[in-house]
């Protein structure tokens, strides 16, 4: 089994090194990681940019590839054939700091796993809670165990597992909970800065986010000292709202207004392409 390991904190991050080391007990590990910190990069992909790739030695002596691309690019490089073999699974992390609820839309760690899911490669994103005293060892061992279990069962390509491990000593961790995404509460503020000759300068800053501690959510599980495992898929469709729209008459009303009654009726049967609307 070929395991592609990447992250968004960059190739120097201890979380990456400890993760790849733990995963060598599960399969063959290929590290492709960004040469810098891309925290908050989201699912950014380099479309019109040449990606540079360098062979590097990690701090534990193992071999790796570094690139000036994003975490998403790292997975694309691996899946599209950087080493001539397609990875069987992608593991991203271990991120410094949790990725809970809406965080997954900002997170480069999760985005790397999303890129894997889009390419039908099973994936796990792993983040460590707390914001200090990084206890990567337990999280790395746990991820190796989880990977074994997932790959021995039905790994669900097209989905990913978003894992958050509390930043606690192993003896204080209260167990494991499978969860849904919770609701983050951000406390962003805009801070203006005086920088003569630099135009108007701002930073988006503020206190660390918290969230609604609702039962069954990743936010609540982590707050209780549990490891949360949230399965994620990429259908962002709001199905309940879609049903409401479909029974609301909205389609018919707009079709009639834009394309006329006849076209609306035929269009509903899929028979015609509507004429260009007279805007």
Q: Which residues contribute to the site for Mn ion (CB under 5 A)?
A: 8-9, 39, 95
CB nearer to Mn ion: give 109 or 230. Answer: 109
Q: Which is nearer to Mn ion, 112 or 263 (CB)?
A: 112
Distance between CA 87 and CA 108 in Å, rounded?
19
| 122, 89 Cβ separation under 8 angstroms | yes
Q: How far is the CB of 36 from Mn ion (least distance, A)?
A: 11
- Measured from the CB of residue 128, what is the shortest distance to Mn ion in angstroms? 10
* Residue 108 near residue 70 (C-beta atoms within 8 A): yes
Question: Among residues 93 and 155, whose Cβ is nearest to Mn ion?
Answer: 93
Pick the closer one to Mn ion by CB: 6 or 39.
39
Minimal distance in Å, beta carbon 8 to Mn ion?
Answer: 4
Distance (Å, whole) CA 164 – CA 128: 6
Q: How far is the CB of 165 from Mn ion (least distance, A)?
A: 14
3-state secondary structure of 16: helix
Shortest spacing between CB 11 and Mn ion, in angstroms? 13
CA dist., res. 155 & res. 145, Å (int): 14
3-state helix, strand, coil in the chain (%, to 5): 30, 25, 40
Q: What is the number of the residue whose Cβ is closest to Mn ion?
A: 39
Q: Cα-Cα-Cα-Cα dihedral of 38, 177, 131, 45, to 10°?
A: 10
Decide whether 8 or 82 has the Cβ nearer to Mn ion. Answer: 8
Burial 177-203 (b: 16+ CB within 10 A, else e): bebbbbebebeeeeeeeeeeeeeeeee
Please say which residue, 42 or 155, places its beta carbon nearer to Mn ion: 42
> Min. distance of Cβ 27 from Mn ion in angstroms?
24
Note the Cα 207 to chain centre separation in Å: 22
Closer to Mn ion by Cβ: residue 95 or 230: 95
**Least distance from Mn ion to the Cβ atom of residue 92, Å:** 10
């Amino acid at each position: 089994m070929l395991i592609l390991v990447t992250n968004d904190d960059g190739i120097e991050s201890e979380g990456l090194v400890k993760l790849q080391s733990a995963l060598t007990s599960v399969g063959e590990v290929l590290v492709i990681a960004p040469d810098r910190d891309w925290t908050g990069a989201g699912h950014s992909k380099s479309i019109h940019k040449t990606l540079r790739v360098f062979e590097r030695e990690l701090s534990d002596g193992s071999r790796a590839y570094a690139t000036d691309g994003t975490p998403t690019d790292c997975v694309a490089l691996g899946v599209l054939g950087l080493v001539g073999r397609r990875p069987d699974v992608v593991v991203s992390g271990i991120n410094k700091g949790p990725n809970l609820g809406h965080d997954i839309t900002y997170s480069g760690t999760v985005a790397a796993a999303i890129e894997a899911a889009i390419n039908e490669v099973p994936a796990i994103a792993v983040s460590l809670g707390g914001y200090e005293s990084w206890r990567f060892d337990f999280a790395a061992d746990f991820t190796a165990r989880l990977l074994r279990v997932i790959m021995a069962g039905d790994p669900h390509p097209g989905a990913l597992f978003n894992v958050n491990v509390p930043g606690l000593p192993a003896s204080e961790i209260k167990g494991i909970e499978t969860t849904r995404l919770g609701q983050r509460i951000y406390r962003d503020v805009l801070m203006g800065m005086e920088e003569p000759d630099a135009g108007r300068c701002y930073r988006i800053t503020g206190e660390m986010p918290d969230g609604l501690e609702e039962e069954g959510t990743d936010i609540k599980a982590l707050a209780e000292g549990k490891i949360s495992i949230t399965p994620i898929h990429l259908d962002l469709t709001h199905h309940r709202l879609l049903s409401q729209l479909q029974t609301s008459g909205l389609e018919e009303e707009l079709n009639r207004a834009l394309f006329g009654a006849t076209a609306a009726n035929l269009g509903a049967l899929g028979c015609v392409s509507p004429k260009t609307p007279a805007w």
